[in-house]
Amino acid sequence: MTRPSVLITGGAKRIGAHLARAFGDAGWHVVIHYGQSRDAAQALAASLPSAEIARCDLADGDAAVEMAHALAQRLDDWRVLINCAAVFRYDGAAGIDPSVMAEAMAVNAITPTRLAQAFLAPADQGGAQSRGGRRVINLLDMKLANPNPDFFSYTMAKHALGATVRMLAMAAQDGGARRPDDRVYGLAPGAMLPSWDQAPHEHQTSGRMNLLGRLTELDDLASTALFLSQGWLASGETVFVDSGQHLLSQPRDVLYLARS
């Protein structure tokens, strides 16, 4: 294996699949993680110059850590982890749905953090000792800066994951076993694809509810992820790719604002 490797969780569909194509086209070996979408993952891997698939239920943090250890032992130059997978189910501020909250916290916050910790762990993991440092890129949400009460548990979990970016970055710089050239980043998109129960034409309205009045393109996000993979930005930073949506104050999720 002469290519650097990237693991993209939730890489079989939607944003994850677009990131997989971008990294594949840029010369990376792409590990496409999937939960249920095996056919989509296989088809995507077959279309890329160098790719493989890996299955794991991200609700099971132990299984995710085992997946990370197995990849670290085998991949020659595992350089980037992109925590992209997420669950997006509705509950609101009037009352948390305990099952929605438990799933959101596990999949959107706890397991990605454990994956990042396993990936950044020092020592005897062979390929994990990547050349030039390792990069963790956590996919967050512009709701970190522009929150609203809709999708309450999802938003809480993304805030929790967002808090880990600076903490993990600080730990990597502490002079201990971790390497100071490792980087941990947040990448916070706005409304990019139809979400929840939206029809595509509804997204044409809601996706433009930002300062620039434009649809934010998936290519913008992929280009930013590729930039972050090089480690040129200071560790611990979060980049918003949302055409300025995070600079607004929106009382509800834009899918409901568009309908009203």
CATH number of the domain to which 117 belongs: 3.40.50.720
Residues sharing a CB contact under 8 Å with residue 95, sequence separation 6 or more, in sequence order = none
Comparing 16-25, 49-58, 122-131, 164-173, the range with the smallest average pLDDT is: 122-131
Domain of 39, in residue numbers:
5-259
Q: What is the mean pLDDT of the chain?
A: 94
Residue 241 dihedral angles phi and psi, to the nearest 5°: -125, 90
Q: What is the pTM of this model?
A: 0.95
Query: Closest by alpha carbon to 106, among 35, 157, 66, 31?
Result: 157
**Residue pLDDT, tens place only, 34-85:** 999 999 999 999 999 999 999 999 999 999 999 999 999 999 999 999 999 9
Query: What is the count of structural domains for the chain?
Result: 1
Q: Buried (b) or exposed (e) across 83-111, using 16+ Cβ within 10 A?
A: bbbbbeeebeeeeeeeebbebbbbbbbbb
φ, ψ of residue 136 in degrees (nearest 5): -105, 130
